[in-house]
């Protein structure tokens, strides 16, 4: 397991990269939210990251958050950034401040029912399969405006923006396309960019970046 010093130093390096990208784009640092993606990492490492300054934590799976969140001592907002199965909507609403992977009206309605039962307004983003890749989840780009109107009208949900994991090739093009979809939908947030491409994402308008390996190290 990586130690606190390594996590702190890597977080400082990521912050420098964010600041440099913001400067190149003529943006303020506070326009970009950093989500530290812990994925397979243990709760102890999440605590070290929070102590180092991470305020937003991302997990891919509901069950991982269910196991780790109760033993994380530090305070942070939690984001679900992996595919959500409808039968886990109730747990997702209980565990996460933001669910970034809504991809259908049916899933949105399931989450909304769970949120209403919990007396909560659930923050959500729509996941877009921006490259129409068959192996990836997400709404088709052509469906985004219609889906945003529908999800945005559902009580107990607060639709904030769009999220995507673009094809590996020519990320800048896909970031621009996602930004255009977000603008057309009239939404504030744009969750895009990971360890290998978050600087490009910031230059193209990302308001949320999801960084794992550059903070927590390689998976394992």
User: What's residue 2's pLDDT?
Assistant: 75
Residues 54, 77: contact at Cβ < 8 Å?
A: no
**Which pTM was predicted?**
0.96
Angle between helices 144-152 and 171-185 (to 10 degrees): 50
For the chain, residues with pLDDT lower than 70 are: 1, 219-220
**CA R_g for the chain:** 17
User: What's residue 220's pLDDT?
Assistant: 57
Percent helix, strand, coil in the chain (nearest 5)? Answer: 50, 20, 35
Distance between CA atoms of 55 and 93, rounded to whole angstroms? 19
CATH numbers and ranges of domains, the chain: 4-216 (3.20.20.10)
Distance between CA atoms of 178 and 162, rounded to whole angstroms? 8
Q: What is the 3-state secondary structure (H, E, C) of 78-92?
A: EEECCCCCHHHHHHH
**Residue 133 DSSP SS3:** coil
**Which residues 6+ apart lie within 8 Å of 156 measured at CB?**
112, 113, 115, 116, 120, 121, 122
Residue 27: its H or E element:
none
Distance between CA atoms of 218 and 146, rounded to whole angstroms? 38
Beta bridge partners of residue 127, listed in sequence order:
163
Residues 82, 60: contact at Cβ < 8 Å?
A: yes
Q: Which residues of 107-133 are buried (b: 16+ CB within 10 A; e: fewer)?
A: bbbbbbebbbeeeeebbbbbbbbbbee
35 is written with which tokens? 């989500």
Summarize pLDDT for 32-85 with one digit per residue, the tens.
999 999 988 999 999 999 999 999 999 999 999 999 999 999 999 999 999 999
Average pLDDT of the chain is 96
Distance between CA atoms of 44 and 2, rounded to whole angstroms? 10
Distance between CA atoms of 171 and 22, rounded to whole angstroms? 18
User: What's residue 1's pLDDT?
Assistant: 65
User: What's residue 107's pLDDT?
Assistant: 98
């Amino acid at each position: 397991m990586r130690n606190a010093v390594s996590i702190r130093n890597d977080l400082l390096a990521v912050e420098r990269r964010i600041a440099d990208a913001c400067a190149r784009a003529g943006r303020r640092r506070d326009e970009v939210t950093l989500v530290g993606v812990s994925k397979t990492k243990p709760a102890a490492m999440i605590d070290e990251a929070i102590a180092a300054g991470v305020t937003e934590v991302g997990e891919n799976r509901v069950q991982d958050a269910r196991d780790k969140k109760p033993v994380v001592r530090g305070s942070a907002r939690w984001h679900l950034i992996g595919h959500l199965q409808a039968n886990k909507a109730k747990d997702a609403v209980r565990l996460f401040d933001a669910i970034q992977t809504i991809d259908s009206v049916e899933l949105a309605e399931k989450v909304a029912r769970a949120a209403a039962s919990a007396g909560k307004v659930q923050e959500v983003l729509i996941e877009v399969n921006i490259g129409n890749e068959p192996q990836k989840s997400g709404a088709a780009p052509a469906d985004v405006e219609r889906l945003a109107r529908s999800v945005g009208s559902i009580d107990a949900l607060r639709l904030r923006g769009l999220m995507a994991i673009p094809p590996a090739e020519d990320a800048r093009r896909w970031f621009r396309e996602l930004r255009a979809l977000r603008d057309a939908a009239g939404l504030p947030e744009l969750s895009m960019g990971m360890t290998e491409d978050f600087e490009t994402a910031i230059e193209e308008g990302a308001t949320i970046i999801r960084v794992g390996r550059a903070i927590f190290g390689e998976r394992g």
